[in-house]
Amino acid sequence: MSRLTDQHLVLRALGLMSGTSLDGVDAAAIETDGQQIFDFGPSEYQPYMPDERAILSEALGQWSGAQVRAAQAVIEQVHQELIGRFEPCDLIGFHGQTLAHAPRDQGTLQVGDGAALAKSVGTPVVWDFRSEDVAKGGEGAPLACFYHFACAHWMGANEPLAFLNLGGVGNITWIDPTAQAPEDPGALLAFDTGPANAPINDAMQARFGMPFDRDGAIAATGVVNDDVVADFLTSRYFEQKPPKSLDRNAFAQAAGRVRHLSDADAIATLTEFVAVSVARGMSHCPTPPRQVLVTGGGRHNPVLMARLCVHLDCAVRPVEDAGLDGDMLEAQAFAYLAVRVTRNLPTSCPGTTGVPSPVGGGTLSTP
C-alpha cells in the first residue's frame, strides 16, 4: 500500500463524506503524500434508505439529545458497511455528518466517532476535521479547498480558476495555481456562496414526495419569479465579505418565499436562487477565474448548469471535463486531508476559513 516516492511517503487513503444533501455516503481512495496526487483509486456510493434519511433530517440543527444519538448510530453503521467493500488501506479520512454549524456561536457538530470506527475496521482514522479551525477563530468551512489546489496542480492549470461545489450548500474555491502551496498568501479564497441543493431537495420532498429534482425536470417546466429572486438577493449574507460559511438550514426561509408559487414555478425559482447566489459570490474573487469547474450533485441538474452559464462571465464545466470525478471529489478531499494531518501539514488557512494563521485540523485515532 504505502510507498516511497522522491523521499515522500505515499499513502493509500480512503475518504468518506456524507454531505448536507443527505442523499448518501461517498467513499473514494487516492494515493497521495498530502501534497501531490499520485493516483485515484476505486470509489463507492451508498444511498441512505428512507428511514435513515428521516432520522438524519430530524437531527439537523440539533446539538445534543436522542435525535443526535440516533443520527450518530446511522452514520457509524452506514460508514462501517461501506468501508467493508474496499481493500485494506493505510488510512481513513472520516468526515462524519454535519448536523449543526454556528462557528461564531456554539461551534460545529459532525456526528460519528472516529475512534470507534478505527477500532471496528482495524485501520487508523483521521476525523473531527473542523473543530480545531473553529477553536482558533476560523469558520471551519469549507475544507475541500486544499484538495482543490492539489487538483489544479494535477491538471497543470496555469491561470486562475474556481471549483464550485453544489451540495446542500454551495461553496467556491478560487485558486491561483502559480502558488507553490495552498497556505501561501493569495493562493486560495474559499467561502460558502449560499444555498444549493438543500432547499430544492426539501421542496421536492414536501411537494412531490421525491428526494431531488432529477435532471432538473420539474424546474424545466416552471417559470422563475423574478420578484421573489430579487427579494432573496436582499439577504445581507451576499454582501458580507469572505470568510463566511453557512449551516444547511441558514436559508430555510427560502421555502417560505416560494410557498405561494405553483410546484414547478417554486422549484424553478429555488434553482435560480442557487445560480444568482453563485454569481454574487464571484464578485468577491481577487480576479475573475478563467473557468469554473462544478462538482457535487448540482452539476447533474442541466437547468441549474444552464442558469450558471447565463450568470457567469466565464466557462462553466463539470469537473469531469478536467478528468476528475465530481461525485467523489469531496470524499477524495478528506482522504487527502487525512494524509496531511499525519504529516502535520495545514488543512486550512486565512484564505479558506478566515483562521488567523494556517492550522492543521483533525484527530488521528489508531485501532
- Rounded distance between C-alpha atoms, residue 311 and residue 295, angstroms: 18
Instruction: Mark whether 120 and 191 lie in a shared domain.
Output: no
- Examine the pLDDT at 266 and tell me if it is beyond 70: yes
How large is the C-alpha radius of gyration of the chain? 19
When pLDDT is averaged across residues 12-37 and rounded to a whole number, the result is: 94
Predicted local distance difference test score (pLDDT) of residue 4: 57
Task: Verify that 285 and 354 share a domain, yes or no.
Answer: no
Q: Do 193 and 235 fall within a single domain?
A: yes
Residues 94 and 117 in one domain: yes
Count: domains in the chain: 2
- DSSP-derived secondary structure for 106-133: TEEEEE--HHHHHHHHTS-EEE--SHHH
Say yes or no: 179 and 283 in one domain.
yes
- Per-residue confidence (pLDDT) for residue 6, from 0 to 100: 54
* Cβ neighbours around 325 below 10 Å, total: 15
Q: Has residue 5 got a pLDDT over 60? A: no
Q: How confident is the model at residue 3 (pLDDT cuts 50, 70, 90)?
A: low
Q: Indicate if 51 and 164 belong to the same structural domain.
A: no
pLDDT digits (tens, 9 = 90+) for 81-125: 999 999 999 999 999 999 988 887 888 999 999 999 999 999 999
Residues 136 and 158 in one domain: no
Supply the pLDDT for residue 1: 64
Instruction: Please determine, for residue 7, whether its predicted confidence score (pLDDT) is greater than 70.
Output: no
d(CA 301, CA 69): 34
- Of the chain, the percentage scoring pLDDT greater than 70 comes to 98
On the 0-12 / 13-18 / 19+ scale of CB atoms within 10 A, 36 is middle
Query: All 3 cell numbers of residue 367?
Result: 485501532
Task: Kindly state the average pLDDT of the residues 59-73.
Answer: 95
Residues 221 and 278 in one domain: yes
Whether residues 101 and 42 fall in one domain: yes
Q: 121 and 183 share a domain?
A: no
For 195-222, write each residue's pLDDT tens digit: 999 899 989 999 999 989 999 999 999 9
Show the domain range for 47: 3-141+330-365
- Chain centre to alpha carbon of residue 219: 23
Are 223 and 358 members of one domain? no
CA distance 71 to 23: 14
2 band by pLDDT with thresholds 50, 70 and 90: low
CATH of the domain at 119: 3.30.420.40
**Most confident range, picked from 22-26, 45-49, 102-106:** 45-49
- Cβ neighbourhood burial of 152 (10 Å; 0-12, 13-18, 19+): buried
Same domain, residue pair 269 and 340? no
The mean pLDDT of 29-42, rounded to a whole number, is 97
**Residue 274 near residue 304 (C-beta atoms within 8 A):** yes
Q: Please tell me the predicted confidence (pLDDT) of residue 336.
A: 98
